Chain A
Amino acid sequence: EDQVTQSPEALRLQEGESSSLNCSYTVSGLRGLFWYRQDPGKGPEFLFTLYSAGEEKEKERLKATLTKKESFLHITAPKPEDSATYLCAVQASTGRRALTFGSGTRLQVQP
């Protein structure tokens, strides 16, 4: 059974204080690892897909990396508008194509 574990559950940062969110996964075969941002009352907003170990992707202050067992979402010099819940999900290469989600990391960036 595919499993995704995210840590920490919640993270409070000061504006400009860089940090990383962790996503550990077990999957029979990885088709893709996805990162989403979710604001209160909204649906998940797509950020990145990573497909193979060693791959990295960046978008503004966010950088996602992937190894064979985990992914990190690095946030550099965050701003208050980066406050949200960040969700990690995996898609298996066999069987169903739907995503399996972790429980998310609630990020709060204080000015």
Chain B
Amino acid sequence: SAVISQKPSRDICQRGTSLTIQCQVDSQVTMMFWYRQQPGQSLTLIATANQGSEATYESGFVIDKFPISRPNLTFSTLTVSNMSPEDSSIYLCSAFGDTIYFGEGSWLTVV
């Protein structure tokens, strides 16, 4: 099984600022994904993080707002840019190894 570590686990952010979330997997994985889970809701896919190329974004999510990097097979970052209170959510990193695993999530509150 894969172990996924996310940083930060929780943060309170000021409106208009940006925050980068890091995701580290303890083994090489073929695919990594970023999800958002708004309070009381289920998981919504933001994008697929592609190693060595641009991320593939889902409808409603754009690169300028959620830039993603994946420099190698074990690491990815998601930046939430120019934050507003509507961005207050849990952001989850997911990796495709022998099955699909999730990190513990990064809880962002925008004030």
| Interface residue ranges, A against B (CB under 8 Å) | 34, 36, 41-46, 49, 87, 89, 91, 96-104
The 8 Å CB contact of B42, one of A43, A45, A102, is: A102
Tell me the minimal C-beta distance from B12 to chain A in angstroms: 15
Which residues on A sit within 8 Å (CB–CB) of B45? 96, 98-100
Which residues on A sit within 8 Å (CB–CB) of B96? 97
Q: How far is the CA of A81 from the CA of B56 in the complex (A)?
A: 38
Contact B42 A104 (CB under 8 A): yes
- Residues 10-60 of B contacting A (Cβ, < 8 Å): 31, 33, 41-45, 48, 56
Which residues on A sit within 8 Å (CB–CB) of B48? 96-98
Q: Report the interface size for chain B: residues with CB under 8 A from the other chain.
A: 23
Listed residue (A42, A44, A98) with the most chain B CB atoms within 10 angstroms of its CB: A98
Which residues on B sit within 8 Å (CB–CB) of A101? 42-44
Flag whether B80 is at the interface (Cβ < 8 A).
no
Tell me the minimal C-beta distance from B27 to chain A in angstroms: 15
Tell me the minimal C-beta distance from A93 to chain B in angstroms: 14
Which residues on A sit within 8 Å (CB–CB) of B62? none
Q: How far is the CA of A103 from the CA of B31 in the complex (A)?
A: 24
The 8 Å CB contact of B99, one of A46, A96, A97, is: A46
